[in-house]
Amino acid sequence: MRFLHNCAPDCATGGVACDSYHKYQEDVMLLVEMEVDRYRFSISWPRILPDGTAGNVNQAGIDYYNNLIDALVANGIEPLVTLYHWDLPQALEDRGGWLNPESQDWFVEYARICFEAFGDRAKLWITFTQPWEIAWFGYGDGHHAPGHSDAPGEKTYQAGHNILLAHAKTYRMYQEEFFASQGGMSRAKVIENPFAETLSLCEETDAGGYVLTLHMTEFFFIIFFGRVTIALNINHHEPANPADPADAAAASRRTDFMLGWFADPVYFGDYPQSMIDKIGEKSEAQGYPESRLPAFTAEEQEMLAGSSDFFALNFYTSTYVRNFVNDPECVSYACDSDTEVFPDPSWKLLNYIKNRYGNLEVIITENGSSDRAGNLDDALRIYQLKHYINNILKGSSNKQLITFSKVPAMYLCHTPRLLLLAILLDGCNVTGYTAFSLMDSLEWPAGFSEKFGLHFVDFEDPERPRTPKASSRFFRQLIRDNGFLHNCAPDCDTGDVACDSYHKMSEDVMLLVDMEVSRITYQFTRAYILVDRYRFSISWPRILPAGTGDINQAGIDYYNDLIDALIAEGIEPMVTLYHWDLPQALEDRGGWLSPESHDWFVEYARVCFEAFGDRAKLWITFNEPWVVAWMGYGTGGGAPGHSDAPGEKTYQAGRNILLAHAKTYRMYQEEFFASQGGRVGITLNTNYHGPLNPADPEDVAAAARQMEFDLGWFADPVYFGNYPQTMIDKIGEKSEAQGYPESRLPAFTAEEQEMLAGSSDFFGLNTYTSSYANNLVHDSECVSYACDSDTQISSDPSWYGTGSDWLKLYPQGMRKLLNYIKDRYGNPEVIITENGSSDRAGNLDDALRIYQLKHYINNILKGSFTPSVPVLLDGCNVTGYTAWSLMDNLEWSSGFSQKFGLHFVDFEDPERPRTPKASSRFFRQLIRDNGFIEENLCEY
């Protein structure tokens, strides 16, 4: 094709690309190293038929694919073959390409040659990959081959129509001419039988194969025969405002126009009715004698319906959709759906396919993530693989299913060694996942600038060497484990060493000195700083390995040395007693679900006050109890990983933590305050939640309710003695309707309320981001904290993203939150004990972190009242700011993949060297200036 020669970035073409033509044996060894058992690749039509027709077969092309298939089979890797990945022979494009009705027969002729040459060994076939892109990008907006953009409301639909008919004709041709002779098994597996029951011999399955059962019931076979499908691409579309029927209809319509455009004909025989109606109405209004969407004849509909043996899905991202009526004179596919889209980070598509198309077998044939730097430490790609596969497993009826994918024309797949047919959350029938891609390659008009590979390819080197990225190791481990093992962060990172501050304590104190920590608060890993103050947390099991009883003197000595070193440098310690590391012995006794946990914590705190309270005068009992209660005992995303009763255990754990805090506060007042004179508080985390639609009273009420369910859940008892009335009422009403004898939110006694009220000497606040809330009444049968508030939260797509999917930067939210606390809690002293920004690359020139620090601190100063700032706007009583974090560290279940530090830590080096980032210099200047001085901000 001439298209890329006209040309992609740096005039990159597919003439050589990653050169798998000459390096296929090396690439097969990469697959063996990855331990995959299925490999998806595409055949190049012009490599087989240079002029596109059967009159001129290129034997060298046939030989290449035969050699590749033989090498795969010899290594136990099953071929999954795509016939068309956008490379139409130029001779056929010159004859009209996919606009020519003859294209249907050209394709059938080409497919027949491939089935004849390779079908004795290749049993899984995809006719077209992403026909939506061919039709719209190739014949609509013109930014893909062949580059047509002159009739986006006509040619687009003509091309799509011909592609669909080419697919259907090819599917029927395979059934008639090849299935009988080539329909041998594509795989025969002995599989452990999770049901322990006997299935009848030779029972035909919905997947197009047969189940042969051994009567001992421990095992069964699944055998698949030759199968043909089409690979469709789609974004998942969510309504921008779920409460707006017009947006809900728009999201459905958008999905019809993207996925349904091709899926509905393949499965039902015709286009979605919404497409037929919309385009018909617009065509008539625009003066066309008939619809711009070509109609199928009755015979074509019959040929199309059911022309797929499984649902092949290419998926990368999601979008929000709002209703938007386009200019009636706009003749384009882009205008026909009357919708507007913008990004949304969710994956709910599998449930849509299950519900619309009858829970077909789905093989995800492409999914991945790109970057432009080609970093070997590709943490973002690991994050994408981990979380997308995790969401597939949540939705799938197949518990273990992994697959791997492609370099355009080269895909790689892994399917389960054990296909355990377990019922998970949603019951979607997903049997394979294909990661895009094995290695970096030519990404069509983007050239080599976008890199999707799990292996780096050096396109400057004529030898095109391949180098494994960190994601390839992660994926190989995922295959070895056949899924996710418990207790394993990315790359199975742990906190055993992390940044090794235990041994590098003196060096880290010198980092604080170099930062000139004074006047402003700053924070470190699990050690945090404040101008002349440094916040760190004590590890409970380091002090009391069994949680109670015997004291570990080495732990006491370490924290004494740290506190002494800080004081010697004029830095005041600020000590957190609990940052989520409950001793395992106590978790085994029930953890925070046990009422005894109050007393365990008081005993531990007493040991710390006795050992360190003569020098440490600022104490935080708990860091982010919301995270402990909800993530630890609700979703299971944090330690200890409970997720079985998110509407019960969550509230039980929260209640016990609150009482442990209050008892500790009162114990300090009674036993230590007179001699030590310190202050005790608790650090609470929250987003600022604003209404999605400020003009909608229901959204305004939802935002207030979300604030109470997040911040008020813990702040109201600490300041007022009891939960917010909204929580009490909502959870009480839902509990009664769900048949509980009493509320799932445990009540405090009058004595406990008195002990709780006023149990904090300052308001410790951790905050990073903001969100919108809208009213959404959840299913009455949903027993979960997530449903109890009857709200839904979202972020603004215009906010800057970071290395954490939950963290979007909205500096103004900081000021709004401080005013909320001032108004609701009587303007208490606030110390911001965490605030920061993450990335995944660990760049030393971390401009986004500088932006975050600059704008968040600026909004704090706008809202604050301190003696050093005489002109103030809001009068919030903020006395300190703590940036997270001094250095990169273990970010819990995210491992080392999310980097929050002002100093880079090389976790591959046993010495864990620290390197200052640009943000550390910015922050030091901010400390020197005690705020913002215009002439010192120029370089930032």
Cα separation, 357 vs 380, whole angstroms = 33
Q: Which two tokens mark 96?
A: 């009209």
AA letter at 713: W
H helix and E strand count, the chain: 33, 30
Q: How far is CA 300 from CA 166, 168, 305, 342, in A?
A: 11, 9, 9, 36
Q: Are 846 and 919 in contact (CB under 8 A)?
A: yes
Cα separation, 501 vs 561, whole angstroms = 12
Cα separation, 609 vs 614, whole angstroms = 8
Rg of the chain over all Cα atoms, to the nearest angstrom? 31
Q: Are 380 and 459 in contact (CB under 8 A)?
A: no
By DSSP bridging, strand 914-916 and strand 903-905 are antiparallel
238 is catalytic: no
Please name the residues in contact with 162: beta carbons below 8 A apart, sequence gap of 6 or more.
Answer: 98, 99, 100, 101, 103, 104
According to DSSP, the residues that pair with 884 across neighbouring strands are: 523
624 is catalytic: yes
Cα separation, 307 vs 352, whole angstroms = 20
Please name the residues in contact with 599: beta carbons below 8 A apart, sequence gap of 6 or more.
Answer: 663
State the sign of the Cα–Cα–Cα–Cα dihedral 587, 590, 593, 598: negative
Cα separation, 799 vs 835, whole angstroms = 16
Q: Are 40 and 80 in contact (CB under 8 A)?
A: yes
Active site residue: 93, 154, 366, 834, which one? 834
Element (H, E) at 230: strand 227-239
Active site residue: 624, 648, 708, 752, which one? 624
- Number of C-alpha atoms within 13 angstroms, CB side, residue 310? 26
Cα separation, 618 vs 576, whole angstroms = 9
Q: Are 542 and 552 in contact (CB under 8 A)?
A: yes
Q: Are 219 and 194 in contact (CB under 8 A)?
A: no
Q: Are 451 and 225 in contact (CB under 8 A)?
A: no
Question: Residue 823, Cβ neighbours under 10 Å: how many?
Answer: 10
**Residue pointed to by tokens 């924290």:** 559
Annotated catalytic residues are 624, 834
